[in-house]
Amino acid sequence: MGSELKLPFVDFSNIDQNTNWDLTKSQVHRALEEFGCFETTYASIPPELQTSMFDSLKLLFDLPLQTKIKNKSSKPFHGYVGQYPMVPLYESMGIDDAPILEKVESFANMLWPKGNTEFCKTIQEFSEKLSKLDQMVRMMVLESLGLENYVKEHMDSTNYLLRVMKYKGPETNESKLGLNSHTDKNIVTILHQNQIDGLEVQAKSGDWIKIQPSPNSFIVMIGDSLYAWTNGRLHSPYHRVMMSGDKARYSLGLFSIPKAGYVVKSPKEVVDDEHPLLFKPFDHVEFLQFYYTEAGQRAQSALKTYCGV
């Protein structure tokens, strides 16, 4: 049955606030309520920039391990992740504030003693353009829920993390776990991959949907922080990566993330008798720290365990 399910497709290839906005907004809202994610195309990122981006990822992951582990962060899951026995096919790196050129240059200078101008230009341009899609989606969500008064506060409360990922091919046709089933903990995630599939999203029915996006498409997904902020009006889906074959899968995710110190708190407009408050206010960074404890990893829903009402 899972193979019969498909993610909704929402076309962002030709849209602004004067053209197709209301129609697209209703499609986005419906998709995020039902599936928590959708597939889209986005003309602002042309195929040649996508190609340059994946060339940059291959260059990055071909660096020696002792170089890659210089990518450290005090925030959980923001630096280099790899060499985990539970997910031996997976490694990833994080670039904080990737839409800002100086931040990308600082990241590159850590890995290449003389810097890498072309790498920096590609990462920054791609991230900046993708951040515009994130902002449009979030604007549509707020408008759909009648929360226009919160737009400035909501947009100002986040920054961006670009996570780049490599999954080694397991060299077998049997499916092997690339990344454990999980929900994202942030606001919105936008995923993009090379031509090696592996992403699976769990529908509300419990069936797993194997995602097979077109070469130029993106997957937009809701994270737990937006699920909580909207008081459960949207769905935060479980997803995983299953690998087969011998080719490496490269993917990237642009994550909009609540800034440290910002308290995620549902607006009063989304709390009523039909929709009682689901979560107490919480700090995203503190929630992340809990998630990576033994109790957080053991919990069926770390969010409900941490701050459920």
Q: What is the pLDDT of residues 160-196, one digit of tens each?
A: 999 999 999 999 999 999 999 999 999 999 999 998 9
Output the pLDDT for position 111. 96
- Is 157 inside a domain boundary? yes
Specify if 286 maps to a domain: no
- Range of 26's domain? 2-271
- Is 288 among the domain residues? no
pLDDT at 85: 85
Give 10-residue mean pLDDT values along the chain (309 residues). 76 79 95 97 93 97 96 87 90 97 96 94 98 97 97 96 96 93 96 95 95 93 97 97 96 96 96 97 93 91 95
Kindly state whether residue 138 falls inside one of the protein's structural domains.
yes
Q: Where are the alpha helices (DSSP H) in 5-116?
A: 21-34, 47-61, 65-68, 101-111
Q: What is the pLDDT of residue 5?
A: 86
Answer yes or no: is 291 within a domain.
no
Residue 85: count of CB within 10 angstroms of its CB: 5
In a domain, 298, yes or no: no
Helix axes 117-144, 47-61, angle to 10 degrees: 120
CA distance 198 to 127: 23
pLDDT at 86: 87
> What per-residue confidence (pLDDT) applies to 1?
40
Of 182, 154, 196, the residue nearest 77 (C-alpha): 182
Does the residue 62 lie in any domain? yes
CATH code of 76's domain: 2.60.120.330
Going by DSSP bridges, is the β-strand pair 158-167/90-96 parallel, antiparallel, or unpaired? antiparallel
* pLDDT at site 280: 98
224 is a domain residue: yes
- Grouping H, G, I as helix, E, B as strand and the rest as coil, residue 10 is strand
Instruction: Indicate the pTM of the whole model.
Output: 0.95
* Number of domains the chain contains: 1
